[in-house]
Amino acid sequence: MHCPNCRGKNLGKIGVQLYYCWTCYIELSIEKGKLNMNQIEPDGSLSPLNDLFPEEERTISEDRLLS
């Protein structure tokens, strides 16, 4: 799986269906076949980034998860 923001593969799994990109510092979760992306703010809160990416880019398939 690649980060949709930086296209890097430096992702770590931090929970069930929850990943973190160590390159651009965003959190990715998978819900109902869609990636939800959040920027982690200095105070620990999350700011959604989904509106910055088209739905096609956020749709995740089983093949994409394994690559």
pLDDT tens-digit series, residues 5-61 = 999 999 999 999 999 999 999 999 999 889 999 999 999 999 999 999 898 888 887
Predicted pLDDT at 66: 44
Q: How many domains does the chain have?
A: 1
Predicted pLDDT at 1: 76
Return the higher-pLDDT residue of 57 and 1.
Answer: 57
Q: What are the tokens at 3?
A: 């980060």
Could you tell me if residue 3 is inside a domain? no
Could you tell me if residue 1 is inside a domain? no
How distant, in Å, are the alpha carbons of 4, 24, 39, 56, 66 from that of 61? Answer: 14, 22, 23, 11, 9
Q: Domain range spanning residue 61?
A: 11-66
Angle ∠(27,37,2) on CA atoms, nearest 5: 75
Q: How confident is the model at residue 63 (pLDDT cuts 50, 70, 90)?
A: low
Could you tell me if residue 36 is inside a domain? yes
Q: Is 65 helix (H, G, I), strand (E, B) or coil?
A: helix
Could you tell me if residue 25 is inside a domain? yes
Q: Is 24 helix (H, G, I), strand (E, B) or coil?
A: coil
Q: Give the integer Cα–Cα distance in Å for 25 and 64.
A: 20
Residue 64 has pLDDT above 70, yes or no: no
